[in-house]
Amino acid sequence: MGRGGVTGAAGPRLHSRHTFCRSDDLLRNDPRRVTAQIDGALISAEYSELTGQLCLRQDGAVLREWFPPHSWIAIASVAGARHWGTRPTDEDLRALLRNEMTLLRAQ
């Protein structure tokens, strides 16, 4: 207490969140979502960084749904090992959409 009883007055400013939390720009409360018009249907891929859930929806109805580690594997299979499938970019989700729609058409 060499500062007259004032703690942290000249010390480093600490982030208000716990040290193990990622910053808001990396962790989203809402799912990351990309949408495409494919064969006249509106198809979207949604990924939640909070839960790891990955959904493909057609006109709002769930086509496919994955949870970790399967969601990470599905993303990494089209995006490569970048982020190990746990933090997909919009382009990663678009690649997943293209891949899954190709598989669904082949069935």
64 within a domain of the structure (yes/no)? yes
Q: Is residue 18 part of a domain?
A: no
HEC sequence for 10-44: CCCCCCCCCCCCCCCCCCCCCCEEEEEEECCEEEE
- If you count them, how many residues does the chain have? 107
Q: Comparing 22 with 46, which gets the higher pLDDT?
A: 46
* Structural domain includes residue 61: yes
Residue 83: domain span: 32-106
pLDDT digits (tens, 9 = 90+) for 35-59: 998 878 899 999 999 999 999 999 8
Q: Is residue 21 part of a domain?
A: no
3-state secondary structure of 88: coil
Is 11 a domain residue?
A: no
Q: Is residue 70 part of a domain?
A: yes
Residue written as token pair 């594997």: 73
Does this model's pTM top 0.85? My answer is no
Domain count of the fold of the chain: 1
Spatial distance between the Cα atoms of 93 and 44, rounded to a whole number of angstroms: 9
